Structure 1
Amino acid sequence: MLRHLFFTAALILANPVTAGPSGTIHVVDGDTLKIDGTTVRLHAIDAPETDQMCGDANSPAWACGDWVRNKTRQMYEGRSAICVATDTDRYGRTVAKCSVDGQDVGERLVSDGLAFAYRQYGMDYDLAEKGAAVNGRGLHGTGIMSPAAFRSAQRAKARPTTLAQNTGAKTVTVNRGKPTKRSGLPNIVNSNCTIKGNISLSSGERIYHVPGQEFYSKTRISPTKGERWFCSEAEARAAGWRKARN
């Protein structure tokens, strides 16, 4: 209870606020909750759109928006939140900072790499995002586009090839040297899992390749076609894949 009081008091001192909704959480997406019948857009964070795909030249396309929504539901669905409203957005939604058991929900999502700091609306989570990027947590462990850039591309009905600039939310690029472990990502898109699960174009057979095999380096993985990465041969066999003969 004291943590709730400290959280609310800190907000009142830092922001022009009013009382916000409190109650049981229903997760709409990575940055939107429904609480006590009120739709709440979390203050100063931006999560991937539900239909957003992520990926780059080194990481195949994958459904990051749906993944973030599911992870957020695992963390917060059905739990009780206390919110302090900071604004109302152009869609009529209450913009608020919410806490669960005294922890700022927005900060947790950004720190875990499930959302980005939306600096256009506040610098509250700038350091949390930088920490997530440095450690390769969540979305920072794979190719990512800011949700604002994705929305801009959708509006233009174009498929961008580069990250849009000055879109509010932004990603942080960190020179790491050796790749960091991407433990926050599902194995299917986690290229730190080195076994490649390929589907034969001619037969549809599911075949996995391990490092050192003849065709390993030439094999490309496309999750959108049902292909994936595995972290062990046992995992691959359990999923119904056989080892390549070469």
Structure 2
Amino acid sequence: MLKNSSCCSPVLALLLSASLATAAETITGRSRVIDGDTIEIRGERIRLHGVDAPESWRGCEDGDGGTYRCGKEAAYALDSFVAPSRPIRCELVERTRYKRRVSICFRADGREVNRWLVESGNAADWPCCGKAGHLARKVRPAVRGARAVRAKRNASSC
């Protein structure tokens, strides 16, 4: 019996360390919207995984020959979505080469922020760094600003 319990000890230790590492990679708190696909929690900037929204300063064509601030609209939409259900919880997917956190985030009511951005048309499902986009299925953006963000990207922009 003693022999079996000693062999399980390394396995138990490995499981516990994996569990602690995952907990350490989750950040929860009140979010501040930086732009349509980036938030900040407790001073740490978090890039939302698998989505791409226009930068806040970006303008897009409105279809009538004019332009509008699609980036600003995407940021306002994100803020309006996260504000009613705080705090926000973000689970680390990866860190960029600049050590920036890339995460999947959830409102306090459990709704996924990344998925909502694409489904609402405020961001495009973005395959980043040779990986598939965040969503299992492509969701056609409903808002013209998200169509504009389907610009060419490459792995160095992650």
**TM-score, normalised with respect to structure 2:** 0.70
Match of 1:67 in 2: 73
Match of 2:18 in 1: none
The question of whether the paired residues in 1 share the 8 Å contact of 2:62 and 2:68 is answered with no
- Relative distance call for 1:109 and 1:122 in structure 2 (3 A) is same
Match of 1:123 in 2: 133
Match of 1:233 in 2: none
**CA–CA distance in 1 between the matches of 2:48 and 2:73?**
18
1:126 is displaced (CA, Å) by: 5.7
Match of 2:153 in 1: 167
Corresponding position: 1:26 with 2:29: no
Corresponding position: 1:83 with 2:90: yes
- Relative distance call for 1:20 and 1:55 in structure 2 (3 A) is same
Q: Percent identity?
A: 27
The question of whether the paired residues in 1 share the 8 Å contact of 2:51 and 2:133 is answered with no
Equivalent residue letter for 1:145: A
What number of residue pairs does the alignment pair up? 129
Equivalent residue letter for 2:110: G
SS at 2:66 equivalent? strand
Corresponding position: 1:138 with 2:148: no
**CA–CA distance in 2 between the matches of 1:127 and 1:60?**
32
**TM-score, normalised with respect to structure 1:** 0.47
Structure 2 stretches of 5 or more lacking a match? 1-21
- Relative distance call for 1:63 and 1:93 in structure 2 (3 A) is same
1:59 is displaced (CA, Å) by: 4.7
1:56 is displaced (CA, Å) by: 6.2
Structure number, greater radius of gyration: 1
Higher RCO structure (Cα 8 Å, ≥6 apart): 2
CA deviations over 1:215-242 (Å, ceiling 9, x no partner) = xxxxxxxxxxxxxxxxxxxxxxxxxxxx
